[in-house]
Structure 1
Amino acid sequence: MQIPLEIAFNHVAPRDDIRALIAEKITHLEKIYDGIISAHIQIRAPHQRQQTGNLFSVTVELRVPGKALIVRKDQDDADRHEHLRVVLRDAFAAMELELKRWKDAIQGEVKFHDGPLQGRVVQLDKARGFGQILATDNRLIYFHKNSVTDDSFDGLALRDTVELVVQSDESAIGPQASTVRRIGALSFDPATKPSRR
């Protein structure tokens, strides 16, 4: 991680064994995605119960490029939340799922309905002959004027909807379109969550 792990204990006495357990869980998450920027863990025991002990609550926050992934496992009436290690296990298991989903989405591994990929032009540099498209799978795709069909690059404008083919080999600047064709309105809004097959 770029920033050292932060652990906050609120109304809970700090414990070295819990710190070691959290460090082990973070190491496991870094094996899933090695670009984690920072991790902040908050452990709370907000309710004091006289007969059966404290109910713990854990928040795990990971910063990854462009996003914060947050999982909260709050106390409830379940007796298992009296055991801090169990609450930590549940919170980190949920964060592992979140991290895998996010990683799959940025790598384009989420599968969408059949049909050509569509998007909207969000950047145009006509002087230098390139632009960027926000695709319906929420990726930002670079394109060069030579990839625009019918030599119609000069006719493109911001917010135009296009159909595109993305090269299978990603370049140093990220995903790149090999073919871009202007079309009518998008069939769905890229701001909405993509459908999974």
Structure 2
Amino acid sequence: MEVPLELSFRNFESDPAVESEIRDYVAKLEEFYDRITACTVIVEAPHQRHRQGNLYQVRIRLAVPRTEIVVDRATGDDRAHEDLHVAIRDAFKSARRQLQDYVRKLRGDVKSHDEPSTGRIIRLNADEGYGFIETADGREIYFHANSLVSVPFDRVEVGMLVRFEEQTGDEGPQASTVHCHG
């Protein structure tokens, strides 16, 4: 990186082990893409609660040629983020996915679709917030609740017709921007 890592902690004391963990995650991003010019990480414990743990927020800003990649893990009430290490891991996973998408676009690996694909929802995992779409040619495409555009996840049902954009994820094809038709 051209600019050293900027790391700050808000509303709690920094810990050398946590700082080391964050530096390791940043190093892994740099191994994947060596043209990151700057990185800022802010770790915050925004709510000082007495009965329950803090919900940590992790914000990451990566400066790369021609753009910035921003991760703002303001997670609301995601209880998993009472664990600082889980909040950090999730934020860096998101940063890596966005960096992978950026690199694919640079290389021209991103497919451009004239029309979105269509399919039908065949399976849902309500507890984990994801499901699968079957395409007209019989393929199964993963989608996450965050990909839904037109309806909240709790209103999605098996059998619904959908229109979606397909991309390649870490574990195969996945749908982004899923529109349900009923």
Specify the TM-score bucket, using the shorter chain as the normaliser.
0.5 to 0.7
Query: 2:11 corresponds to which residue?
Result: 11
Tell whether the 8 Å contact from 1:42 to 1:59 is kept in structure 2 after alignment. yes
Shift in CA distance, 111/23, structure 1 to aligned 2, threshold 3 Å: same
Query: 2:85 corresponds to which residue?
Result: 85
SS in 1 for 2:45: strand
Query: 2:74 corresponds to which residue?
Result: 74
1:32 CA displacement: 1.2
1:30 and 2:30 correspond: yes
TM-score computed with the length of structure 1 as normaliser: 0.56
Query: 1:131 corresponds to which residue?
Result: none
Percent of aligned pairs sharing the same letter:
33
Tell whether the 8 Å contact from 1:112 to 1:196 is kept in structure 2 after alignment. no
TM-score computed with the length of structure 2 as normaliser: 0.61
Give me the whole-angstrom Cα distance separating, in 2, the residues matched to 1:96 and 1:26: 10
Per-residue CA shift, 1:83-110, capped at 9, x if unaligned? 1100000000011000000000011111
Shift in CA distance, 113/47, structure 1 to aligned 2, threshold 3 Å: closer
- How many residues align structurally? 117
1:51 and 2:43 correspond: no
Per-residue CA shift, 1:132-186, capped at 9, x if unaligned? xxxxxxxxxxxxxxxxxxxxxxxxxxxxxxxxxxxxxxxxxxxxxxxxxxxxxxx
SS in 2 for 1:111: coil
Task: Provide the alpha-carbon RMSD of the alignment.
Answer: 1.6
Query: 2:40 corresponds to which residue?
Result: 40
Query: 1:109 corresponds to which residue?
Result: 109
Structure 1, unmatched stretches of 5+, are: 115-194
Structure 2, unmatched stretches of 5+, are: 115-164, 168-182
Give me the whole-angstrom Cα distance separating, in 2, the residues matched to 1:104 and 1:79: 33
Q: Which amino acid aligns with 1:112?
A: S
1:196 CA displacement: 5.8
Return structure 1 stretches of 4+ with deviation > 6 angstroms: none
Query: 2:121 corresponds to which residue?
Result: none
Query: 1:62 corresponds to which residue?
Result: 62
Q: Which amino acid aligns with 1:34?
A: D
Higher Cα radius of gyration:
1
Q: Which amino acid aligns with 1:110?
A: V
Q: Which amino acid aligns with 1:73?
A: R
Give me the whole-angstrom Cα distance separating, in 2, the residues matched to 1:95 and 1:107: 18
Give me the whole-angstrom Cα distance separating, in 2, the residues matched to 1:196 and 1:102: 16
1:95 and 2:95 correspond: yes
Q: Which amino acid aligns with 1:48?
A: Q
Q: Which amino acid aligns with 2:30?
A: E
Give me the whole-angstrom Cα distance separating, in 1, the residues matched to 2:111 and 2:65: 22
1:73 CA displacement: 1.0
SS in 2 for 1:76: coil
SS in 2 for 1:71: strand
